[in-house]
Structure 1
């Protein structure tokens, strides 16, 4: 009854002929956390956001976060079964106030957020296994596969992608998971390794809709798995090995190029200039740790037929202030990446503990979307939870991004993006990075209303 009365009040505020507008607000002072809010009559002066649903862009696949080995272990061993079931339902469905994650990412073997370093075909130093006789999903069957199966059972629409942090050490110049490059004589073996993973995960009930060839291919970390793969190597592995093998096997799994930061758009452009490799690539994946989100569009202009994906960003204690970090995440990840073409947007770890783990090497102060205390299984919902919730809870798989234009004044601090859901509903997300409240009017077909957004606040409107 309370929700009904509130909806009626909102409808009255904007006119009897308009459909009711629901609004959900999060503020940098944490006094509002995806809290119901009310709209007002149109503002006479100030910023105007004009929505044109006839101008449509990319079709959305969803929002989500990675189920790393550390996250999966924590959820399965740091909580009771009832606690875990409740959290998984909250993350992967829209029941009640669930986030409705529809996209996730797995690591093929270990990342830094694993309790040990491993591949799926480890060999003693000096030994090789080109026929993959030693290949095994056993490490993933412990926690990652059960956690992912549960997520898929809760949300059958969930799409799962996967990325390796390193080839098995015996395929590399270092004979180690740490640092090094892929040896040319093992390009074919690495492709077989990737396809074997896809086939065996499918047999486990987990279809992999997309692969990236290598996580962060221009980075060789010194204390956890990684592998440098320059554009020429990526093109040769995709064009001569992985692409043809997936095709020969009749597998529909897509190949996404790059999977690294915004600051080096020249690298995916270079790889994609290889015509043989290009015909097997369906999209380009990006991370947030350097550069500007506009790089996504820079590459998309050259290859408009390719999908854009945003596949990793992590919050951390280097930026703990909500009033600073919440608007940054909205401007760059939720709003920025989608305005620059992203069909899907992923955070890094879905869950970490109060010590920012489990991890082995790498980041010492990364946050998960949620923090789970393994002493008692309690859950803390972090900045990332609410930032992503402003999109994932309301923007459904299959939605189209639509045009949302604003006034010419760029000093307002307002960023926005709009979507048309498959059911005909409209979603508008607005963020205010300014230090003062901002008043604005929203105009759309059959709809006109006003709102005052607090400093460092985010609001999602749906109607």
Structure 2
């Protein structure tokens, strides 16, 4: 990220590409940006960094001093994901028999890495919001009798709901509050080599409406329930759950992933259920198309600008950290990258495109900010505008997806400024509502 020369508002004519920012148009409130502390990320941070390296990295990612990114949002996995060093659930009886009373429930698998790193993240940013998602119910709850593939048996809907809440309470006892849950990561997909579980809309509606939702309502202190936690290409899935009269009152938001469909799918669901929030809860950069050729500009255009313009209150990318071999992992994606890369031999940290995409938002947009009006994208130039609640500063994030430099103007009630965006670049502009100076940061 490069701090560019400041500019200023002046009385000048609009250019053909003119972004009009309207502070009177106000949309959703933002809780923040961040990534998932997977088992792999936690293990690397805890065991491949020395204490000084670990503190420096967590302050860089979750703090705001000295150019820190200020991550305000994070995600944990309930049990193993593909980015774990081995497969496990939090209730694996030694004899493999069903344990409906959850007598063998334990978070001991997490005490050596996830728990201490999550605590350290909260020590840097006490306002950090943490959500959590399971990749599978314990195998004995499923028709496959395995963490791999299968679906949740209806007779274990009650036990699985209690399992999720025992996780929340166990983490709370460790000083790690979980503010929201999804009932299943990617419930329309059954991976063949890592934990997963198909759970269609009717099944999620019964689980939420008849079991988990009433349990949480009786508790009276959360967590919130987010539905779906999967791709843009099947909006009928969350719509199906929200159409269920028993489940709908218990669902606070719809969570989305980026691996299929188009970000615009978020808006019709929001318009159908405007009292339900929207979140982007997983997207990974990596070694595949169109990520390779689209690069940082594509990631920023879709995962920051696109998700926010389509009602997202928070944005999470996938692994917070991976090693030089895109691991460790047990099955699943071998080409996903982390927000940072940790050399497993030296602890040296390098920063990926995902890091800079998040940084252009998280360094400048505070939790509590509100998205405000701005012109629709055109001619390869896309944008989103937000206003911070703490100091009324306005933040405008702009991408130029074209290979040629583009001259743009930005108009607001204060006047207008002009700027040249290099080809294939990402820029963040910030100004105080009562001042004429505009700060600019750029990445390309």
- How many Å separate the matches in 2 of 1:366 and 1:126? 33
Which whole-Å CA distance do the structure 1 matches of 2:2 and 2:318 have between them?
21
Q: Is the 8 A contact 1:130 1:186 kept in 2?
A: yes
Which residue in the other structure is 1:177 paired with? 147
CA distance in 2, matches of 1:361, 1:280: 33
Alpha-carbon distance in structure 2 between the residues aligned to 1:334 and 1:44: 26
With structure 1 as the length reference, what TM-score do the two structures score? 0.90
2:188 paired with 1:218: yes
The aligned residue for residue 8 of structure 1 is: none
Tell me whether 1:415 sits opposite 2:382 in the alignment: yes
> Is 2:346 aligned against 1:379?
no
| 1:204 partnered with 2:171 | no
Is the 1:126–1:175 Cα contact (8 Å) retained in structure 2? no
Q: Does 1:269 align with 2:253?
A: no
Q: Residues 322 and 53 of structure 1: is their aligned pair in 2 closer, same or farther, counting only changes over 3 Å? A: farther
Is 1:108 aligned to 2:78, yes or no? yes
Q: CA deviation at 1:307?
A: 0.2
Residues 122 and 71 (structure 1), Cα distance of their counterparts in 2 relative to 1, 3 Å cut: same
> Structure 1 residue 43: deviation in Å?
6.4
Superposition pairs for residues 21-40 of structure 1, below 5 Å? 33-39=1-7
Q: Extract unaligned runs of 5+ from structure 2.
A: 432-444
Out of 30, 35, 52, the residue aligned to residue 65 of structure 1 is 35
Unaligned ranges ≥5, structure 1: 1-32
Distance 1:306 1:384 in 2: 28
CA distance in 2, matches of 1:426, 1:117: 45
423-432 or 313-322, larger mean C-alpha shift: 313-322
1:348-389: CA deviations, max 9, x gaps? 000000100010000011100000002111111100000110
Kept after mapping to 2: 8 A contact 1:323/1:456: no
The 8 Å contact of residues 43 and 439 in structure 1, kept in 2 or not, is answered as no
Shift of 1:46: 2.2
Contact 2:187 2:198 survives alignment (8 Å): yes
SS at match of 1:335: helix
What's the Cα RMSD here?
Answer: 1.4
Aligned residue runs from structure 1 range 354-365, under 5 A: 354-365=324-335
Cα distance change, pair 322–385 in 1 and its aligned pair in 2 (3 A): farther
Partners of 1:390 and 1:92 in 2: CA distance: 14
Aligned to 1:27: none
Residue 302 of structure 1 corresponds to 272
Aligned partners of 2:285 and 2:291 also within 8 Å: no
Task: Tell me by how many angstroms 1:447 deviates.
Answer: 3.7
Whole-angstrom CA distance in 2 between matches of 1:148 and 1:431 = 33
Question: What secondary structure does 2:317 align onto?
Answer: strand
Q: Deviations over 1:202-229 (max 9, x none)?
A: 1111111100010000000000000000
Please, what TM-score do these two structures have when normalized by structure 2? 0.94
Distance 1:174 1:43 in 2: 66
Q: Are 1:370 and 2:337 counterparts?
A: no
* 1:248 shift after superposition: 1.4
Match 1:425 to one of 390, 393, 405: 393
Listed one character per residue, the Cα deviations across residues 20-65 of structure 1 (whole Å, up to 9, x for unaligned) are xxxxxxxxxxxxx343344376565321111111110000000000
Q: Deviation at 1:125?
A: 6.3
- Residues 1:327 and 2:288 are matched in the alignment: no
Tell me the matched-pair count.
428
Distance 2:375 2:415 in 1: 15
Q: Distance in 2 between matches of 1:204 and 1:235?
A: 31
Q: Does 1:257 align with 2:230?
A: no
Aligned to 2:436: none
Q: Is the 8 A contact 1:123 1:170 kept in 2?
A: no
Contact 1:257–1:285 (CA under 8 A) maintained in structure 2: yes
Q: Structure 2 CA distance, aligned partners of 1:355 and 1:288?
A: 23
